[in-house]
Amino acid sequence: MASNIGNRVRLSVFGESHGTAVGCVIDGLPAGEALDWGEILTQMARRAPGRDKTSTPRQESDTPELLSGTLGSAEEGTLRTTGAPLAMLIRNQNTRSGDYAQLARLPRPGHADYPGFVRYQGYNDVRGGGHFSGRLTAPLVFAGAVCKQILRRRGVRVGGHILEIAGVRDRRFDPVSVNGGMLEGLSARPFALLDPAVETPMREKVEAARMDCDSVGGIVEVAAVGLPAGLGSPMFEGMENRLAALLFGVPAVKGVEFGEGFGFAGMRGSEANDPYAYDRNGRVVATSNHNGGLLGGITNGMPLLLRAAVKPTSSIGLPQRTVDLVSGEDAPLTVRGRHDPCIVPRALPVVEGVVCLGLLDAMETERAGE
Amino acid sequence: MASNIGNRVRLSVFGESHGTAVGCVIDGLPAGEALDWGEILTQMARRAPGRDKTSTPRQESDTPELLSGTLGSAEEGTLRTTGAPLAMLIRNQNTRSGDYAQLARLPRPGHADYPGFVRYQGYNDVRGGGHFSGRLTAPLVFAGAVCKQILRRRGVRVGGHILEIAGVRDRRFDPVSVNGGMLEGLSARPFALLDPAVETPMREKVEAARMDCDSVGGIVEVAAVGLPAGLGSPMFEGMENRLAALLFGVPAVKGVEFGEGFGFAGMRGSEANDPYAYDRNGRVVATSNHNGGLLGGITNGMPLLLRAAVKPTSSIGLPQRTVDLVSGEDAPLTVRGRHDPCIVPRALPVVEGVVCLGLLDAMETERAGE
Amino acid sequence: MASNIGNRVRLSVFGESHGTAVGCVIDGLPAGEALDWGEILTQMARRAPGRDKTSTPRQESDTPELLSGTLGSAEEGTLRTTGAPLAMLIRNQNTRSGDYAQLARLPRPGHADYPGFVRYQGYNDVRGGGHFSGRLTAPLVFAGAVCKQILRRRGVRVGGHILEIAGVRDRRFDPVSVNGGMLEGLSARPFALLDPAVETPMREKVEAARMDCDSVGGIVEVAAVGLPAGLGSPMFEGMENRLAALLFGVPAVKGVEFGEGFGFAGMRGSEANDPYAYDRNGRVVATSNHNGGLLGGITNGMPLLLRAAVKPTSSIGLPQRTVDLVSGEDAPLTVRGRHDPCIVPRALPVVEGVVCLGLLDAMETERAGE
Amino acid sequence: MASNIGNRVRLSVFGESHGTAVGCVIDGLPAGEALDWGEILTQMARRAPGRDKTSTPRQESDTPELLSGTLGSAEEGTLRTTGAPLAMLIRNQNTRSGDYAQLARLPRPGHADYPGFVRYQGYNDVRGGGHFSGRLTAPLVFAGAVCKQILRRRGVRVGGHILEIAGVRDRRFDPVSVNGGMLEGLSARPFALLDPAVETPMREKVEAARMDCDSVGGIVEVAAVGLPAGLGSPMFEGMENRLAALLFGVPAVKGVEFGEGFGFAGMRGSEANDPYAYDRNGRVVATSNHNGGLLGGITNGMPLLLRAAVKPTSSIGLPQRTVDLVSGEDAPLTVRGRHDPCIVPRALPVVEGVVCLGLLDAMETERAGE
């Protein structure tokens, strides 16, 4: 497997849905960084299931235990990084493996069951999806919450919102005026939207799918402000390359775009190019931001903007068609267990998290502006 | 900079638009692979400018010279890889650097000029965009053409088409029935389309932009067939992560999606999940392919399908607004020189090329199915 | 920090001597490999302190807990790798942090205290050496013991012995006739020697140093047999490069040599070159093995032979001179606590362990002979 | 193959001894660094063959051609790095491939011929050793000479001397007082020694071997002064790990040691530990330097000291025993051609070069002291 990534700030993720634990090792964090434990738990809670009807009623404690890499006390607010690898684990509980007993032979459509079976010759842990489970995103949120705090002290703020669920659309970030205060506000909310009026229709779509034993997909939009210009490297170590490599590590993400993204296909250059001007402080700014803060993979000092498409939850209650890998015959499948009719709200803090990880890694690797 | 990528098959790209040469080193190719030089030149010609009105009238010879890593003779058809690093260079000629003299102080909107200036403290070569130039895609096409031949001998075919230019759309690949013969046919054509009827309206849009001293964007779609199931690794070394990291290295690519991609946002799980069945030969197949051949980042044996959004050429003849980095004042800019009104047809072989590179790297790294 | 390494089989190590735990994540192990838990504990016990007078009287439980990456039961002998990251932790206990209170201001000569203080601006955990502690070798032995079992099933055996302690020398491996049975035998012993007669004089040297509140150094020699010819890649991914990068990760290792190593300085080419011949089975063999099984960084099918120099334990009871980083004045230092008068016997299983890790990584990366 | 290495400053080496060219790409050099072309040629000349009787009479022009990554003129002294990948090639000439015709079937003892044959299934270029040839060290010296200049501007000087040839020993560097002026002086010399009196006996040993159609080995010693304390990371990214991974990439290097290295085996801790004291300027220094400036893989501000063992040239004129890979029978071999009776003087600038590369990479990666 290859559940690790990063240049200077490197993440190694481990665990299975129904095994002993999930967790991660973050190697290369700067030393002496204060960690607000409460903020980490807040971000973990945004991802945790069981909060409302859009998610599975499974209760997961999701309480991370620190194993290494810090000194001080979370309770007393004196927790700091030491610069050594920061390891964390979350013990699993409340798992009902019986729900998944049939999966070893009946791969679920839309899941990694069948490719995983071939890749690991049938030796992989299929209970709850094993290492492919959405539960593995808990360490991603944890790592992101650590990085987010360090980024904030460097003047970088990251936040996002649900842009679309089941065809119901929030408005997009204003690519020029999006700011840190707004992003911090969104990042504290469980169901983050720019336009609160779309919450009800979105939730209705999710509830309708739930009633049908079905699921719906969506899009999340994330922004980062305060990045220095000049961050990123050409060709394969641009910010787009690095962030995309992280974002496609989030289960269910099937598309990533920066700035106008696929919308560029219908634009002309005269519209797409962002003109430059000096602002009042003599700083170079762009007067529009169709490119999402990135040109040639390198930041230009404008807000970084990206969107990630999230496919509908693969686990649905409706009957499906699959194959029986043991008998060698086609077979019907009804997936039991408790599943999210819509993963999008829980995917948002994960996407924000990996963006934070990618940005801090780039800043530690390149020290832009120094 | 960081113009290198890859796990087992590693690419290192070098050169500037108006410097001595562009080229690459491909490290880790399997030994003993026959290379059809004519096929390499065919792919290079698809990318080369000056062929028709959609591209710049600049003539570039684009003749690669082999420096190492092969034995035998291209002319006699006995060329083979040795397993040592394969290095190639293309000498630059027919450059008019005078066209770009002003760029050192007047960064072009939509280009990497300004981020590059900050990143390299003004020391980077700005002539023709330097290392950020689209000319650097010639080595990518070369490397892709080498990999494509090796993939073909392993039963894998890669090809693509122009899906959209300026709002005019070709039809999409049929995600189940797309096959190698079709892909090989497309991959030989300079303006590859599934529906020939859209060529004229597409070209009209490009010509209209050219007459307006403007440019247009588009989307390319690429497929790979014959891949074994089980290729790719979870989380950060999935095929989606790897291919996205390569694809965002192609200048002007601002979005990448797999299977339905952003279209998943409006779908239900019951529609998005691809059911399994045994085919006549007892092989597991999916009866639909919304996921583009990838689940959990790992191939499932169905055709791999992806799309990349290409922004409109940044270099346009229309007057634009920028800043004068020397005088510290806002300034008008008119970019002279010879530019492509639409880069999409030339971007297609580049996108195919990096997909070939990514697939061969993954196969060499993982030896799926063995 | 950068406590991770590897190409396909990647190790990420975490923990501090007096923190919550030490442990590791091994990513990329092949799936379906049976793990003999008893053998892992045997190797861990070889490294564990407190066994005899050459080591510290500290008792460390060193019982690893599996967190992920396996299925089955250690007790029932059904434990197998799943292919997912294998995470393990060992909780710390029996630590006396008071012993080390002064170290934050008085860096110990010969230790990483001072470089670590500068590297981490004083934020690193200094208790017991923190992440620089020899305790961090426990995860290395664990990882090595896992890899050793997998290697054995592929016909590769790894083992070693104490070649020298304080000037007392064991005889060297016969570079041609060293075999798997001998290596397995050595690898089970706590104080492995080829010539049992040197044990007593070695132990006397260690005891003399202990009585003097001082310490002694030595050399370990490790061999691997059964490796296929053709493993390794030229220049920077040769087996020598890979193994050296691992071996210098073992605390106290200050020199690494392959085959005759530094002895080549006094040899002639006619002596150093190993002639080839066909053996009875028509297999190419070398009739001598001065090169330690490696030419150009690549295995030639002969036994791989290496030696690592281990410096005397830095923690000694004798008074030493250091600086007081707080007062800014020179200061005397007496290191209290329980220390090994000789680390060499405990370093041996660590060196064997990282060799196993490097060999399995190379085999998984290159699949030599396929 | 895997002829590339590096974290931020990455080197990719290509070429074969009797192919079109050898060369390299250096990715990640800092931008705006002036390059003294004369100094680069001086270093290349130190490695070039044909200067005196210790080396082969082959004349190689070894004139590097810059392909990318610089602006300005070597002649006018205005050459500067741009930050883009710096590519260089040296065309081959004066090759007599006929000398090596038999090598495809008769692998030379001590060379990589046989492992290379297995590794590349007989497809590798065997002429002159192909990619395994010592000629591939020319790009290493080039890259080192570039890095050496950049290091000097940061206060770091690197130089070395021949410590031993055929049992004749120069004296070792004084580990505390070695300084930049001395290192610069040595680094300009073709046959660098601390004690000039050993040159004659060393040359006599080489000449005696040459007369016997044989060869001799030796040891080189390299120092670096002016390094900041705190450079390097624990475990696997220490300076020892990084430098060893580079040093074993130099053909014929079979052993590497830091500080006392293998000499630690006979020392006591009280002797090996380097005490600290404040110097007149209030800077922490060690009053001895047995550890060669490195503790826990991290610099302590003292001179970095290392030694590399170089085996006798494998190509000798004496008759040897080998196998005929075509006929499957044992066979006599007499290697014709022009070879170095002693590679040590030419290996010295190569070892210095890779040390420079490793140090600059570490400084660019870690920015110690910032």
Instruction: Give the tens place of pLDDT for each residue, C202-213.
Output: 999 999 999 999
The C-alpha torsion from A262 through A263 and A267 to A269, rounded to 10°, is -60
Tokens of D117: 């044959």
C144 in Cβ contact with C356 (< 8 Å): yes
Count of CB atoms situated within 10 Å of the CB of B124: 28
Interface check for B314 against chain A (CB to CB < 8 A): the answer is yes
Q: What angle do CA B238, B244, B246 make, to 5 degrees?
A: 110
Give whole-number Cα distances, B218 to A104, B196, B215, D54, D307, in Å.
43, 17, 11, 63, 58
Nearest to C25 by CA among A22, D234, A64, A113: A22
Which chain A residue is nearest to residue C15, measuring alpha carbons?
A: A68
The beta-carbon neighbor of D367 closest among A7, A234, A367 is: A367
The beta-carbon neighbor of C85 closest among A1, A80, A123 is: A1
* Overall average pLDDT of the B280-290 stretch: 96
Contacts of B370 in chain C (CB under 8 A): 367, 370
Interface check for A66 against chain C (CB to CB < 8 A): the answer is yes
Cβ distance B272 to A217 less than 8 Å, yes or no, reads yes
Cβ distance B3 to D85 less than 8 Å, yes or no, reads yes
Cα separation of D104 and D123, whole Å?
10
Phi, psi angle pair for A68, to nearest 5°: -170, 170
Q: Compute the mean pLDDT over every residue in chain D, rounded to the nearest whole number.
A: 92
Residue A324, beta-bridge partner list = A329
Contacts of D8 in chain A (CB under 8 A): 365
| Token pair 């270093």 in the structure block, residue | D43
Interface check for A12 against chain D (CB to CB < 8 A): the answer is no
Contacts of A232 in chain B (CB under 8 A): 115, 119
- Total beta-carbon pairs less than 8 A apart between chain C and chain D: 390
Decide if pLDDT at C370 tops 60: no
Cα separation of C81 and C74, whole Å?
12
- Total beta-carbon pairs less than 8 A apart between chain B and chain D: 166
> What's residue C73's pLDDT?
93
Cβ distance C1 to A84 less than 8 Å, yes or no, reads yes
Interface check for B96 against chain C (CB to CB < 8 A): the answer is no
Chains sharing 3 or more CB pairs under 8 A with chain A: B, C, D
Interface check for B8 against chain C (CB to CB < 8 A): the answer is yes
The angle that helices B344-366 and B37-47 make with each other, rounded to 10 degrees, is 140
Mutate to test the interface with B, among D4, D8, D14, D100 (most CBs of B within 10 A): D14
Instruction: Give the tens place of pLDDT for each residue, D209-254.
Output: 999 999 999 999 999 999 999 999 989 999 999 999 999 999 999 9
- Taking the CA of residue B306 and the nearest CA in chain D, the distance in Å comes to 30
Cβ distance C14 to A25 less than 8 Å, yes or no, reads yes
Count of CB atoms situated within 10 Å of the CB of A370: 9
Tokens of A36: 């607000």
Interface check for A209 against chain B (CB to CB < 8 A): the answer is yes
* Overall average pLDDT of the C4-11 stretch: 88
Mutate to test the interface with A, among B295, B305, B315 (most CBs of A within 10 A): B295
Mutate to test the interface with B, among C29, C233, C236, C363 (most CBs of B within 10 A): C233
Instruction: Give the tens place of pLDDT for each residue, D327-365.
Output: 999 999 998 777 889 999 999 999 999 999 999 999 999
- Taking the CA of residue D119 and the nearest CA in chain A, the distance in Å comes to 25
Which chain C residue is nearest to residue A364, measuring alpha carbons?
A: C1
Whole-model pTM? 0.95
**Coil, strand or helix: which one is D89?**
strand
- DSSP states along C123-177: -S--GGGGGGSGGGHHHHHHHHHHHHHHHHHTT-EEEEEEEEETTEEPPPPPTTT
Q: In chain D, pLDDT over 70 holds for what percent of residues?
A: 93
Cβ distance D367 to A365 less than 8 Å, yes or no, reads no
Contacts of A365 in chain D (CB under 8 A): 8, 365
Mutate to test the interface with A, among B219, B220, B235, B258 (most CBs of A within 10 A): B235
Q: Residue C256's pLDDT band (boundaries 50, 70, 90)?
A: very high
Give whole-number Cα distances, C82 to A3, B226, C69, in Å.
14, 27, 5
Count of CB atoms situated within 10 Å of the CB of B112: 28
The beta-carbon neighbor of C367 closest among B7, B234, B367 is: B367
- Taking the CA of residue B365 and the nearest CA in chain C, the distance in Å comes to 7
Interface check for D280 against chain C (CB to CB < 8 A): the answer is no
Q: For residue C297, what are the contacts with CB-CB under 8 A and spacing of at least 6?
A: C232, C233, C234, C235, C237, C238, C239, C240, C241, D112, D248, D249
Is B94 exposed, middle or buried (CB count within 10 Å of its CB: 0-12, 13-18, 19+)?
Answer: exposed
Tokens of D301: 């501000």
Q: For residue D71, what are the contacts with CB-CB under 8 A and spacing of at least 6?
A: B123, B125, D79, D80, D82
- Total beta-carbon pairs less than 8 A apart between chain B and chain C: 10
Interface check for C368 against chain B (CB to CB < 8 A): the answer is no
Cα separation of C320 and C334, whole Å?
6
Interface check for C283 against chain B (CB to CB < 8 A): the answer is no
Contacts of B8 in chain C (CB under 8 A): 365
Q: Compute the mean pLDDT over every residue in chain B, rounded to the nearest whole number.
A: 92
pLDDT in tens, chain A (370 residues): 467 788 899 999 999 999 999 999 999 999 999 999 999 999 999 998 876 767 665 555 678 999 999 999 999 999 999 999 999 999 998 665 555 567 779 999 999 999 999 999 999 998 888 999 999 999 999 999 999 999 999 999 999 999 999 999 999 999 999 999 999 999 988 899 999 999 999 999 999 999 999 999 999 999 999 999 999 998 999 999 999 999 999 999 999 999 999 999 999 999 999 999 999 999 999 999 999 999 999 999 999 999 999 999 999 999 999 999 999 999 999 987 778 899 999 999 999 999 999 999 999 998 644 4
| Token pair 């002693």 in the structure block, residue | D342
